[in-house]
Structure 1
Amino acid sequence: MIAINNLTFEIGARALYDEANWHIKPGEKIGLIGANGTGKTTLLKIIVGDYTPTSGTISMAKDIAIGYLNQDLLSYSSDKNILHVAMEAFERQNQLHDEIENLLQKLETDYTEDLLHKLSDKQHEFEVLDGYNIEYKAHEILAGLGFTEADTHRKLSEFSGGWRMRVMLAKILLQAPDILLLDEPTNHLDLPSIQWLEDYLKAFDGAVVIVSHDRWFLDKVINRTVESRKGKLTVYAGNYSFYLEEKAQREEIQKGEFKNQQSKIKQEERLIERFRAKASKAKMAQSRIKALDKLERVDDVDDDNPSVNFSFRFSKQSGRHVVTLENITKKYPAIDILDHTEAIIEKGDKIALIGANGKGKSTLLRIIAGADTDYTGKSETGHNVTQTFFAQHQLEALHLEHTALQELQSFAPKHTETELRTILGSFLFTGDDVFKKIKVLSGGEKSRVALAKALTADANFLVLDEPTNHLDIQSVNILVQALQQFEGTLIVVSHDRYFLDNVANKIWFIENQKIKQYPGTYREFDEWYAKRKIEPKAAAAAPAPKKEEKKEQAPAKQQHSENKFQQLKKLNQDLGKMEEQIAELEKTIKQLEAQLADEKLYNDAAKMKQVNSSYEVKKMDLGHLQLKWEALAEQIMELEA
């Protein structure tokens, strides 16, 4: 489909890519990953022809259609409504629509056979191109990305950059290209929209290349991972979790090869040193020196996953109740956010506040942090609570002329320079990086400085609004490690589900203007919430039980005991059968995963599509079966109690 051969791309004296190779095959769902600065976005621009490689070739079919979502589209604006902008994707259908309208107007005054034939041809082509459904398709995709029916009639220029980016994504998806190149597609999406996009991309027939820092999203969508590192592109035959396992195994092998080679080199060097001075052995020594020079060296493994090696310090412990919300009501002119709701944040809570944009997550955080006082009700901070509030606007509050180190020193004067440099080192500011001025840092680097500041505060309660924005996977891992070590209380809003799953022990969500709570991790909440949506449908579909005629009954206690025994026996039999089905499904899924990991499969597009489709169906079947098993197990436990 697209073949990249011996690609070299240089920026000044630095080679961003050095004879890199990569073949993109039809139907592949690929995650392009790597640390910031390794050239992921650059590579996408090279593929679409925005940049010209220094050397090497990129080959593709002439008629291949590429849909490219990039962050430059943030600046695009238009006074047309967003439905019109999205429907610009249907270039030929729109052209035919206009031509049909013109012909119909002409026929009103010039009714000829020639015009009738032309109209018939245009209408036939319009129908073949599914022209009568394009508006429906546009509405469907815009709705999936979070737009209401009323929004579709508003001008694009009225929306913020993030919402405009959603419109551009809708337009690209409506084009249905052969390959989608998506650079950070989840950056401006809320959780429901991200989940919708996951389902859309999994069902998409074409190839997809995604640059993303969202591990959970990558795991759900991709079946190939390509790592951009040290100027090369390395392919892994699985999703992001597979990549982590496979890379760890490869690095273990590489460590062994490096160690063995170093041992042999030292042995050779000792022999050379020993015989170099002897005239009779000089020729042999020179021969060994040449062989050593020609030896292809195995590199040692670099540690790409730095660990956090600082501990949080706060001078006093908070009381049991950190924040108490009573009868909180918050309204805006066009929308009700909270209506007489109550909640308590207790010491040690690690709360993830989740939900769609516009439901009031950031508003609730500001109320909790005391940054918003325009509400009715009572928000009370508990005894000895010291708070730090992190929000995206704080990036603008950084002192541009300060270095990263000076910024922390002015905020946390009680810490020594060594401590602050250690903290900055944990956030990937190593060596002289700590002396870079804030004004020259990227958005992600500024975010890391602001987070480092928040984490050096003498605070036992952290309020974090979108701390993972602008962070790459490596930086998110660092933040996860830091917050896992934090012994205080926190509440966080983020769309990064991997981050939430590894940080939170309690989930809050806003439903019907009330704060609802789930006591568990994000993964557990996700399964529970999916089951919660399925159960009402199942209950509504279930037929009402038939009335039976009264029969002579056994004594109540004895009959209840017998019924309970018979019921438990049947439920346990059903559970056993279900476990067998689950084991069989898991076995089939492993076999399909083995096929998907085989490079040969990708030479046969039809077979690959069939295997991939079977894999997705079996995974879905397994998920449904596991939900049924859990429900049955709970039923048995209730009867046994």
Structure 2
Amino acid sequence: MTIGRRPGPPAGFQGSTQPSRFHVADSAATSSDLDLHAVSLSIGGRDLLVEAHLQLFQGMRYGLFGRNGTGKSLLLKSIAYRWLPGVPSDCSIFYVDQLESEEHLDATVIDLVLSADFATATTLSRIDALAAALEANDVGALRAIKRETMLERIGDAEQVVSKTTGERGYRARGKLVALQSDLSKFDLIDGDSSLVDEMQALLVALQSQVEDRSVYRVKAEKALASLGFDRSTFDRKLRQLSGGWRIRVALAMAVYIEPQILLLDEPTNHLDISGILWLKRYIARLTDMTIVIVSHDRNFLDGIDYVLHLQNCKLTLYAGDYETFVETREEQRLHRATQRSALDKKRSKMQASIQAERTRASRSGDDKHLKQAASRHKKLSERLGVETNQLGHRFKLNRDRVGWHHSRRGDVEEEFHEQALVWRLPEPSALRSPGPIIDVGNVSFAYAPSLPPTLTNVTLAVDQGARIAIIGRNGQGKSTLMNLMVGRIAPTSGTIRTHPQATISYFEQHFVDVARGVHDTCLEYVKRRFPSLSKQDAYAALGAFHLADQAQQPVRALSGGQTVRLAFSCLALEHPHAVFLDEPVNHLDLDAIDALIECLQEYTGAVVVISHDIFFIKSLQCSAIYDVRGAGLHPVKSIDNVYKP
């Protein structure tokens, strides 16, 4: 992605909507609602969404849910970057991502905010290029700029042609042909005496479209100030900021362009609990914006108005928050089961009646019984079906079953069932001697003698079967403490004793990032980690965490959630007596988090977890919670008492 330019779609992307014949006129509508029909998305020939209806109402909050890999991020990007036809051109949309590319990390805070307005940033960039080319009398550069503008006009014209028919379409195609002809003529001519004058006129026209650069700078600085930045940070590079401040930069970009629709893709990743609560409060104040959120944090999603559920290439809208969505789905499942049971009973009774009439006819030779059987069979095949529609109203043929069908009534629709996620860690073997798995005694640690200590006089015992959560703000030393306990680093002072017979497994926070550089396939990776493991057992280990289909796929090509599952398949092979997990849920979808929670609840070994997900911590029913702050370890009675919303 080029800073300041709207990115193009990835290779293999296909996106379409049902166009209106008057699309160009519709796209200039003043409404901030978004209404796209027959939305289809695919990548590399794999369908992610098929003829879905996407409707976003002004000022509403939406939670977009779906398992990892279903296309949530691609859908948001397709809307924001207008890869989908039909998105109104004058509807301001901003997509907040993680700003993790090298280009983003090397940019200054103020430049990133200025780059959020793609149109203005592109115009200013072209003004700079034109001015430099004219000053140097660089004919080659001027020709390149002119050709680029001609290609842009052709691209715009092609978009119009693809969305209009009739007289409008005829005129649009004529304009496109003329533009293409002009480009062909331009490419055939090496020199053009009027080129310099034409480019000078273009420079004047572009300059008239924008304000003085200082105006944009002041506006960007105000956006940053509104999110707590002071002037000393404006010219710092993004990589110098913590995760919490990086998400504030992304939000400042949104404040700068004042979008009508704000799309947030996993905004809580890398935020601590206080940062998540701050972000939740901040978003609640954006009452005039339409907001769509993808997040795995249930507490963060409190207060959404609608759920958009992406499953089996379909997008379904539910009113209410996530808990209401879960309850509604269960009610629908029970309703379908009741309908199915009643329909099966009625069908069985009618089939028995038909058979009885046929038996009577064969015995008596009376055609009336055969006619009665035929009549009932017709009713069975054509009219027996659901008697209420999806809204619970009485079924009406002309309203609820439009089009040609084999029968007048539909059967009970079977809900698509995704494969249930079931994760298991093996039961640890009994330790022959008692005592804690790990005993931390009066430990202090500093990364260098010249630096203040990260941790001071920390004492902690991890007993067999313990459940311990470690929380705290970013940068306080949580991961440092865990690295000390698992032996990755040595304490500056104090003692750390590990049970001599215990096996300890560790999921590190940045495992997903490290895995992006692994060229092995999943199967090769497992075999390399466990050389004595047979190929069959390696397959079984991957299959236990639903990675059988990815066994021959490179590790670097896995999604974040799949990479976490790969890590847990290796953890299970270690048969640990204790698992130490540093931010394990960051890359998981809600179903996978539920699977992990159930897995850890059933696991009888010790669990020590670092997490900022309040729901996840509560679900583990921890025997102890510790807050790392001020270089110390402080016991917490309840996580609800740590940071107030």
TM-score grouping bracket, smaller chain normalisation: 0.5 to 0.7
Aligned counterpart, 1:33: 65
Q: Deviations over 1:38-72 (max 9, x none)?
A: 3322322332353236xxxx565x64322211357
Task: Please state how far the C-alpha of 1:37 moved relative to its aligned partner.
Answer: 3.1
2:290 to 207, 211, 232: 207
CA separation of 1:512 and 1:409: change in aligned 2, threshold 3 A: closer
Decide whether the 8 Å contact of 1:412 with 1:457 is kept in 2. Answer: no
Q: Deviations over 1:185-217 (max 9, x none)?
A: 112323222211111001112221101122221
Decide whether the 8 Å contact of 1:74 with 1:161 is kept in 2. Answer: no
Aligned counterpart, 2:411: 297
Task: Please state how far the C-alpha of 1:79 moved relative to its aligned partner.
Answer: 5.4
Aligned counterpart, 2:55: 23
Q: Larger relative CO (CA 8 A, sep 6+): 1 or 2?
A: 2
CA separation of 1:438 and 1:93: change in aligned 2, threshold 3 A: closer
Q: Deviations over 1:248-286 (max 9, x none)?
A: 222211222233334445555666778799884485446
Distance 1:94 1:417 in 2: 55
CA separation of 1:492 and 1:513: change in aligned 2, threshold 3 A: same
Matches within 5 A, 1:338-417: 338-347=454-463, 348-373=465-490, 375-382=492-499, 384-394=501-511, 396=514, 400-404=519-523, 407=526, 411=530
Aligned counterpart, 1:46: 78
Task: Please state how far the C-alpha of 1:400 moved relative to its aligned partner.
Answer: 4.9
Decide whether the 8 Å contact of 2:79 with 2:87 is kept in 1. Answer: no
SS of equivalent to 1:217: coil
Task: Please state how far the C-alpha of 1:73 moved relative to its aligned partner.
Answer: 6.2
Letter in 2 for 1:342: V
Aligned counterpart, 1:216: 299
Task: Please state how far the C-alpha of 1:218 moved relative to its aligned partner.
Answer: 0.9
Task: Please state how far the C-alpha of 1:434 moved relative to its aligned partner.
Answer: 5.4
Distance 1:420 1:93 in 2: 53
Matches within 5 A, 1:262-341: 262-265=344-347, 280-281=370-371, 284=375, 285=377, 288-289=380-381, 293-294=406-407, 295-304=409-418, 306=420, 308=422, 310=424, 312-317=426-431, 319-332=434-447, 336-341=452-457
SS of equivalent to 2:300: helix
Aligned counterpart, 1:76: 103
Q: Deviations over 1:498-524 (max 9, x none)?
A: 2122123321122211111114xxxx3
CA separation of 1:444 and 1:8: change in aligned 2, threshold 3 A: same
Aligned counterpart, 2:312: 230
1:8 aligns with 2:39: yes
Letter in 1 for 2:437: V
CA separation of 1:10 and 1:310: change in aligned 2, threshold 3 A: closer
Q: Deviations over 1:350-408 (max 9, x none)?
A: 12111222111111111111001262332222454321111145554697545459827
Distance 1:446 1:27 in 2: 36
Letter in 1 for 2:109: I
Aligned counterpart, 1:254: 336
Distance 2:48 2:559 in 1: 18
Task: Please state how far the C-alpha of 1:339 moved relative to its aligned partner.
Answer: 4.4
Distance 2:226 2:572 in 1: 43
Distance 2:415 2:504 in 1: 41
Letter in 2 for 1:226: L
Distance 2:531 2:555 in 1: 17
SS of equivalent to 1:195: helix
Distance 2:314 2:435 in 1: 53
CA separation of 1:297 and 1:273: change in aligned 2, threshold 3 A: same
Aligned counterpart, 2:205: none
Aligned counterpart, 1:455: 572
Decide whether the 8 Å contact of 1:305 with 1:474 is kept in 2. Answer: no
Task: Please state how far the C-alpha of 1:462 moved relative to its aligned partner.
Answer: 1.2
Distance 1:149 1:460 in 2: 51
Distance 1:437 1:78 in 2: 26
Distance 1:442 1:276 in 2: 60
Instruction: Specify every segment of 5 or more residues in structure 1 that has no aligned partner in the other structure, as ranges.
Output: 96-124, 531-619, 621-641
Aligned counterpart, 1:135: 221
Aligned counterpart, 1:67: 94
CA separation of 1:69 and 1:268: change in aligned 2, threshold 3 A: farther
Decide whether the 8 Å contact of 1:508 with 1:516 is kept in 2. Answer: yes
Decide whether the 8 Å contact of 2:99 with 2:105 is kept in 1. Answer: no
Q: Which region of structure 1 is more displaced relative to structure 2, 386-395 or 276-285?
A: 276-285
Task: Please state how far the C-alpha of 1:179 moved relative to its aligned partner.
Answer: 1.9
Decide whether the 8 Å contact of 2:527 with 2:535 is kept in 1. Answer: no
1:427 aligns with 2:427: no
Decide whether the 8 Å contact of 1:191 with 1:356 is kept in 2. Answer: yes
2:613 to 488, 493, 496: 496
Instruction: Specify every segment of 5 or more residues in structure 2 that has no aligned partner in the other structure, as ranges.
Output: 1-31, 123-210, 362-366, 385-405
Aligned counterpart, 2:182: none
CA separation of 1:516 and 1:263: change in aligned 2, threshold 3 A: same
Decide whether the 8 Å contact of 1:330 with 1:336 is kept in 2. Answer: no
Q: Once superposed, what is the RMSD of the aligned Cα atoms?
A: 4.4
Aligned counterpart, 2:364: none
1:514 to 632, 637, 643: 632
Count of residues in Structure 1 that have an aligned counterpart in Structure 2: 490
Distance 2:218 2:244 in 1: 30
Distance 2:439 2:556 in 1: 39
Q: Deviations over 1:6-52 (max 9, x none)?
A: 32315276553333224322221111111223332232233235323
Letter in 2 for 1:231: C
The structure carrying a bigger helix percent of its residues is: 1
Query: Sequence identity of aligned pairs in percent?
Result: 29
SS of equivalent to 2:101: helix
SS of equivalent to 1:187: coil
Matches within 5 A, 1:480-495: 480-495=597-612
Distance 2:245 2:109 in 1: 10
CA separation of 1:65 and 1:296: change in aligned 2, threshold 3 A: same
Decide whether the 8 Å contact of 1:190 with 1:355 is kept in 2. Answer: yes
Matches within 5 A, 1:577-596: none
CA separation of 1:297 and 1:427: change in aligned 2, threshold 3 A: farther
CA separation of 1:464 and 1:232: change in aligned 2, threshold 3 A: same
Letter in 2 for 1:407: V
1:176 aligns with 2:294: no
Decide whether the 8 Å contact of 1:226 with 1:235 is kept in 2. Answer: yes
Distance 2:264 2:421 in 1: 30
CA separation of 1:43 and 1:90: change in aligned 2, threshold 3 A: closer
Distance 2:298 2:434 in 1: 36
SS of equivalent to 1:378: strand
Decide whether the 8 Å contact of 1:385 with 1:460 is kept in 2. Answer: yes
Q: Deviations over 1:573-604 (max 9, x none)?
A: xxxxxxxxxxxxxxxxxxxxxxxxxxxxxxxx
